[in-house]
Amino acid sequence: MRSLVYILNSITFAACSTLLGRAYWRVRQRLLLWSALCFAGLAISNFLVFVDFVLLPTRDLYVLRLATAAVAMLLLMFGLIWEGE
């Protein structure tokens, strides 16, 4: 059951990223691009949670998961600051 939740969470973030990316290509507002990149990074981070806990339970991907999520959030913060000026 846990693995299903991890996969669905990753799929949800990937779908949000796709929808934000499509909206960016239509409207060309850069904040949508930064949001799409953030959600893509969070989807990768959630997929790494699935890999860490389900596929490779003997390996510790904690640092990689946190680094991926941190980079994703930094992309969004950069976009918010860049667009706010």
At residue 32 the predicted structure's pLDDT band, cuts being 50, 70 and 90, is very high
pLDDT for position 20: 98
Q: What is the pLDDT of residues 3-20, one digit of tens each?
A: 999 999 999 999 999 999
Tens digit of each residue's pLDDT (9 = 90 or more) over 41-57: 999 999 999 999 999 99
Q: Please state, in angstroms and rounded to a whole number, the distance separating the CA atoms of residues 5 and 24.
A: 28
Name the phi and psi angles at 75, rounded to 5: -60, -45
Contacts 24+ apart (CB under 8 A), 46-52: 46/6, 46/9, 46/10, 46/13, 47/6, 47/10, 49/6, 49/9, 49/10, 50/3, 50/6, 50/7, 50/10
Each domain of the chain, given as residue ranges in start order, spans: 2-84
